[in-house]
Structure 1
């Protein structure tokens, strides 16, 4: 009887050991699976090339860089020259007893001399041109305006399109420096002019004819 009891007990222990083994294997499998998942989810290190910034993230960075431009400051600078030129021309109209609403334009010829356009008597036109050509302040303001205004016009339009439609302008991104200290108006004008001269494209159409820039008074042009 004791032999039979011993056999039953041995059989029971053997069966229990068989039932426990899969559970151990499953636990080990789950542990291994968990370790594998942790490896997959492990953040990439600084030198890990598994992560590449998407075009969208790069575009957002460029857009943020452009939106930091102090456009209001640029407009104020250009506005000062615009106001000075406008008032000078108005004074000339009054000085020569011309209608204050007379439409006239100012540009530089191939020799760099200021020319005046509009319906004027030839003698009056010549006298006004002579006055403006000896006015150093007027000449300097006009020279600045001829380069600053087209560049500002381009940047303003590009930023408005960006904000309204999310359209990123690659040319604007190229002009803007990561360091805001190098994004002064003259810095941008210089880079814009350099790009225009080295790689003329349709994007530069606004400033392509910079040398023939004209200021118009009392006209919609």
Structure 2
């Protein structure tokens, strides 16, 4: 009789850690629909028609106006359509894209997205939350960089990198030797989105998108992201 015991998939472990962290900060946990409308997934989020992500080779369409969500941001529209504030919520769930199966991509993967919306919300609020989060997840201080970035949802936008543990190893599968690994994109919610949802000009917000798979890769040193989704008991 096999005496080995099962244990949680590391992906579930890091997702639970994320929920625990953001609940302590007062975020509500929300859940969206995996089948979304074109409007919620693209139009209301400031994404132009015929941009790459809207095309058939990037998104799974069910009908002309229905698709498998390609990101979690449609939950913003569903929450913000209530026109209430303050709002602070996070969702962690599956998204779907027509990516090639490989060590970095797969057609289904997990994302986490959080939003804070209120009067007097500033970029400094985002920076403080992300610094606390990185320290919590990695159980130590890591170098962080905030670099300018473009994103349809946010303005200004940044990508957040953390220092790698490889010490500039050019063979590192995460940083390729530059010692920085991207874990998050974030920024101030674009004014066009707030206007679309009916918010006055005195309301502002921050948002961030995290990849649980990327976090567990760095925490557990998992080189191939596919191992997080396979039924192979010897992987961990």
- TM-score bracket, normalised by the shorter chain, equals under 0.3
TM-score, normalisation: structure 1: 0.24
Higher relative contact order (CA 8 A, sep 6+): 1
TM-score, normalisation: structure 2: 0.23
Larger % of helix: which? 1
Larger % of strand: which? 2
